[in-house]
Amino acid sequence: MISLFDLLVLLLVAGVCGALGQAISGFSRGGCLVSIALGFIGALIGMWMARNLGLPELFSVDIGGTKFPIIWSIIGSALFVAVIGFISRSRA
């Protein structure tokens, strides 16, 4: 069972990873909640890519028994934000 403190730390780490992904891609929309969501989406995309390409988990943090992949979260969120930015810029 994950405690409230572990959940808050997990949200903070996901938010920082999502914000770094936005900064790397150069496209930013939204605030803290968007960064947190991007961090989790980036972790899913990044780990999916790593598993399909046979790459190892580079740096993961264990928070309350839950492993969160930092590097893959940043890479995945940067790719996700870049695709969203590309799609929304081409429509405008």
Q: Which amino acid appears at position 77 of this protein?
A: S
Please report the pLDDT score of residue 53 as a whole number.
92
Q: Which residue is it, tokens 């496209």?
A: 27
Question: Across-strand partners of 62?
Answer: 67
Please report the pLDDT score of residue 59 as a whole number.
87
Q: What is the rounded distance in angstroms from the CA atom of residue 53 to the CA atom of residue 12?
A: 28
Residues with pLDDT less than 70, the chain: 90-92
Q: What is the rounded distance in angstroms from the CA atom of residue 73 to the CA atom of residue 59?
A: 10
Please report the pLDDT score of residue 91 as a whole number.
57
Q: Which residues contact 37 (CB under 8 A, 6 or more apart)?
A: 18
Please report the pLDDT score of residue 90 as a whole number.
62
